[in-house]
Structure 1
Amino acid sequence: MRRETKKNLFVAGTYGAVLFLGLLLGKNFTDENSRTGRNNLFPLGIIDNSSKVQRMIDLIAENYVDSVGVDALQELAIDEIVDQLDPHSEYLRPNEALQQHETLEGSFEGIGIEYYILNDTLMTVGLIPDGPAQRAGMRVGDKLLAINGDTIAGKPISEKMLEKKIRGRRGTAIEIAIHRNGTDLGLPLKVMRDRVEVSSIDAAYLIDSVTAYIKIRRFGARTAEDFERSLSNLKKQGAQRLVLDLRENGGGYFNAATALASHFFDSKQLIVYTEGAHEPRVDYYSSADGLFGNGELAVLIDENSASASEIVAGAIQDLERGIIVGRKSYGKALVQEQFGFGDGSALNLTVARYYTPLGRCIQKSYKANSDSILYTAHLPALGQPDTVTYTTTSGKHVYGGGGISPDVFVPADSNRASTLYRKIRKASLIETYVYSRLTKSVPTYSVENYLKGYFLPEEEYGRFLQYIRDNGLEYSADEVDATQSMVRSDIEALLGRYYFGSEAFFKVKNRSDKVVAQALLALQGE
């Protein structure tokens, strides 16, 4: 998993709403490969080559004029060593290792709420279906006043402080004082912490009468299982084609990618292979005739689609199973294995490269770290330039190095880079406006009516423009014209998510998504 995408671990586009599910101590995590087999790393000092480093740390700890923490010195040494490797090898502190593990396992011990901090008050903006909070009677829109008798409303509170108050063992209780619809509830709600399961599927629905749309957030432990369940349901509703959205998907478990890709092929098709200096070549084949082995398929990618996403896209492109639509992917073809330390910290170490069925290594250049002493001599082998051409069975050319190039290119909307839009997003003005002004009453219409008929009224958009001006953002008429469609879509999607759940968010966004539109045209042969 790329360091740049670690923060993108829940639903893309929730606009600052933070999912808090509690933390769960768990087993070892591997970013791109579940083949552990070597779970312990020798501490510094045991191996001869590291004795000098350990001796120096010991001398400092025993003789330095001031007291120095040995653990801190060791971590500094480890950080410096790892910085000399490829950009994807990394040393994780215990809390970082836990967070990565929990995210990809998709299982937490907590209460299952999403919240947004609105004017120093925690506002519930989402509930995990049938999670502990929902079972206890919490509702979207509830404002949290106190936790276990400690007031949290009306004063600044950090995520770390919230975790300390909310997290705890499964089966333990937490009492939350609630303000709902303008009134404080008489008694706090008692919520029993429990295991919370979170699907790696953001959305799965029929985008038209015969086309399924499935968006995968990450490749976790149950991604293939979640996908199979979702697609089976959609096939029963008449799905014959599929749009698989892997945009903003930064990767995950290696075996989750191969298991998902298996659904698109007959058995015993080569999907990917791995190889490294200390890792002999291992081929990974589709395990059985896939659930969607014959239907028309389009895969959506962008510059943040990485590693496991690229394994799937590369196999589909090389074997001409479907079309790739969007923008060039990130370009990560390195496989990490995790080695755990006894204190819960871990080393995610690159042990191999992966190659698509045609033998492509789509790893991009390491130029940003070209001064690293340990791999500079091997740099030519770490990536292949885009000029290296491979040919598919039908004669189509595909390329190695620098990511997966789409078959149908759709450029990014340049208006998203506009100064006004970036300022609006950075200040979280859309979320604050929606949660403070547009969520006062529950709508009487259904989600279907909302999706078909709700568009932000002109007068409401005008009030939003005045709102951002009141918050110090000045703008020109040209800037408003350039960003209007995006801002409207963002507000409509976030409001739909608040009332109807996370899937509604993507249904609204897809109404005006140019990449989705191009995928539908390509599937229809246009």
Structure 2
Amino acid sequence: MSTHKNSNRAITLPLYITITLCVGVFIGANMVGASSSPSSNFMQSLTKFRQVLTHIENDYVDEVDSDELVESAITNMLEELDPHTAYIPAKDLELIQSKLQGNYEGIGIEFNIFKDTIHVVSPLSGGPSEKLGIRAGDQIVKVDGDIVAGIGMTNQKVVELLRGPGGSEVTVSIKRDGEDELIDFTIERDVIPQYSVDVSYMVNDEIGYIKVARFANSTYLEFKDALLRLKDQGMKKLVIDLTGNPGGYLNRAVQIADEVLSGKQMIVYTDGKEKRYSEQHYSGEKGDFEEGSLVIMVDEGSASASEIVAGAVQDHDRGLIVGRRSFGKGLVQKMIDLTDGSELRLTISRYYTPSGRSIQKTYEGGNLDEYYMEAYERYENGELYSSDSIKFNDSLAFKTDKGRIVYGGGGITPDFFVPLDTAYSSRYLNRLFSTNSVQEYTVKYAQENRVELVEMGFDNYESKFEVTDQMLEELIEVAEGNQLKFNEREFKRSKKLLKQLTKAYIARGIWDNDGFYPIFNQQDEIFLKAIKLMDEADKIAKR
């Protein structure tokens, strides 16, 4: 997505028209590329903004927060430009940065809130919580002596309480099944690595699978390590799963594409108003998978850097793209630090696939709701269920290296379309997840049966373990406790899928993603199609 960071905004604030019209260039004066000789219009606009703000500060009938007015003005002004130019207040920046930098400082747990209580879903491997013996299923009742259960805690508030600078300490009081008293743990916060490659494993003797969740700072090294481990296990064919991947650092996408493209081939190029933002990126380094069958999985949640990788593979006929049309983000942002610790993410260029496609979908400045609702429009017009519903613009037709027609103008259209599968889905199934009922039940089940499941081992669990009807009845009871009324008709429709998903989530509680994805993917239609198309991908690889 961005040369530096991925930006997603879908919240529209009230429009402060007067300030919005005038403040635009005020920010420009603080960013790279602003004119050193401002025009008279620039100075007039800047003067007008200062006048308005001064009059509000001095003469307005009520007390006002000038900082808040400026923040709102900046935010709304940027919304008039494009959907991905954004202003990040200083208070929000650390959390957002940590997702792309690949680490943060904290106690190292994955948590969820069930019935107004913080439950440890998993202590993160190698983190301080795991080292002290905190377990999945533990309930955090107090933090530094203050009650945090039953008071309406939010995810954001929990993060604020538990994260902090490395070396600082926090005491958590834990309720654990089988223990009558709370257990206190004094945890020294540390740097917690965040992994962007969720999982990699061998599907069979030849096919390897790598799930990339985002393109963060550490993604390339994680991907490279996964690739080499799979090759050591005999991998000859590869599936790269980019479904739901919102993007991230452009250079990490280039590096991963370089691993599968041979020789000197263009991966992506950018075009901006300023020449310095117009760049070309080529493969060149010797990659670890330049030969062999390759399939890239994408869907409507695959954006930005994901589309760079998929577009390069498709344009050079290196492999097959399987799934549904990707999001359609072809704008590149530059991160600009502002003096108060906040950050401006300014769109500086558009990127294009090797064949010349801009895959940025259309947008109107200031209309963010319409832009982000486009995905829902795909659902409404049937595109998620039928490739015939995808509308192509013949003026945006391009050719791959071997002459296949591909289209620009809004995402990467896959070589093989996989419709959204609704055969076993239902509103009741969706509500089981949205009420956290499945998560609550499976965390508890994994905790109560940990010893037996660990002794069983994952291979036996995958092949022999079955979610029983009795277990589903217990899950229904949990859901009813979460105010979800039982729907027998919809339950019967979704029963087979619910069993599969429940099994996957229990495995996650024991073996983390290494247990979750091999089972979850058994019901993923895009994954199943990708495996079936390996012979077709092999033909492309051998041309």
Q: Which of 339, 349, 352 is matched with 1:352 structurally?
A: 349
Query: Hey, what's the Cα distance between the residues in 1 that align with 2:463 and 2:359?
Result: 41
Query: What SS class does the counterpart of residue 405 from structure 1 fall into?
Result: coil
Query: Hey, what's the Cα distance between the residues in 2 that align with 1:478 and 1:368?
Result: 45
Query: What SS class does the counterpart of residue 157 from structure 1 fall into?
Result: coil
Look up the equivalent residue of 2:8 and give its one-letter code: R
TM-score (norm: length of structure 2): 0.83
Number of the residue aligned with 2:17:
none
Is 1:515–2:526 an aligned residue pair? yes
- How is 1:110-259 mapped onto 2 (pairs within 5 angstroms)? 110-184=106-180, 188-259=184-255
Q: CA RMSD in A?
A: 2.8
Is 1:455–2:463 an aligned residue pair? no
Query: What SS class does the counterpart of residue 488 from structure 1 fall into?
Result: helix
Is 1:386–2:393 an aligned residue pair? yes
Aligned residues of 2:435 and 2:479 also touching (Cα < 8 A): no
Q: CA deviation at 1:469?
A: 5.1
Query: What SS class does the counterpart of residue 501 from structure 1 fall into?
Result: helix
Aligned residues of 1:260 and 1:312 also touching (Cα < 8 A): yes
Q: CA deviation at 1:369?
A: 5.1
Q: CA deviation at 1:163?
A: 3.3
Is 1:291–2:292 an aligned residue pair? no
Aligned residues of 1:267 and 1:290 also touching (Cα < 8 A): no
Aligned residues of 1:40 and 1:339 also touching (Cα < 8 A): no
Number of the residue aligned with 1:421:
429
Q: CA deviation at 1:179?
A: 2.3
Query: Hey, what's the Cα distance between the residues in 2 that align with 1:368 and 1:483?
Result: 42
Change in Cα spacing, 1:172 to 1:473, as seen in structure 2 (3 Å) is closer
Query: What SS class does the counterpart of residue 138 from structure 1 fall into?
Result: coil
Aligned residues of 2:497 and 2:523 also touching (Cα < 8 A): no
Look up the equivalent residue of 1:244 and give its one-letter code: I
Aligned residues of 1:39 and 1:339 also touching (Cα < 8 A): no
Work out the number of aligned pairs and report it: 484
Query: Hey, what's the Cα distance between the residues in 2 that align with 1:172 and 1:390?
Result: 56
Q: CA deviation at 1:476?
A: 5.2
Query: What SS class does the counterpart of residue 533 from structure 2 fall into?
Result: helix
Look up the equivalent residue of 1:60 and give its one-letter code: I
Number of the residue aligned with 1:3:
8
Change in Cα spacing, 1:100 to 1:469, as seen in structure 2 (3 Å) is closer
- How is 1:88-107 mapped onto 2 (pairs within 5 angstroms)? 88-107=84-103
Change in Cα spacing, 1:179 to 1:523, as seen in structure 2 (3 Å) is same
Query: What SS class does the counterpart of residue 72 from structure 1 fall into?
Result: helix
Q: CA deviation at 1:50?
A: 2.5
Q: Which moved more, 1:514-523 or 1:183-192?
A: 183-192
Unaligned runs of 5+ in 1: 7-36, 373-383
Look up the equivalent residue of 1:355 and give its one-letter code: Y
Look up the equivalent residue of 1:402 and give its one-letter code: G
Change in Cα spacing, 1:423 to 1:143, as seen in structure 2 (3 Å) is closer
Query: What SS class does the counterpart of residue 494 from structure 1 fall into?
Result: helix
- How is 1:496-515 mapped onto 2 (pairs within 5 angstroms)? 496-515=507-526
Aligned residues of 1:429 and 1:468 also touching (Cα < 8 A): yes
Number of the residue aligned with 1:62:
58
Q: Which moved more, 1:230-239 or 1:151-160?
A: 151-160
Q: Which of 432, 435, 447 is matched with 1:439 structurally?
A: 447
Identical residues among aligned pairs (%): 33
Query: What SS class does the counterpart of residue 278 from structure 2 fall into?
Result: strand
Look up the equivalent residue of 1:78 and give its one-letter code: I
Q: Which moved more, 1:64-73 or 1:144-153?
A: 144-153
Query: Hey, what's the Cα distance between the residues in 2 that align with 1:433 and 1:82?
Result: 44
| CA-to-aligned-CA distance 1:180-239 (integer Å, 9 cap, x gap) | 232056752221111111111101110111111000010000111110011111110111
Aligned residues of 1:40 and 1:341 also touching (Cα < 8 A): no
Query: Hey, what's the Cα distance between the residues in 2 that align with 1:417 and 1:91?
Result: 38
Q: Which of 270, 273, 280 is matched with 2:269 structurally?
A: 273
Change in Cα spacing, 1:62 to 1:41, as seen in structure 2 (3 Å) is farther
Query: Hey, what's the Cα distance between the residues in 2 that align with 1:231 and 1:465?
Result: 41
TM-score (norm: length of structure 1): 0.85
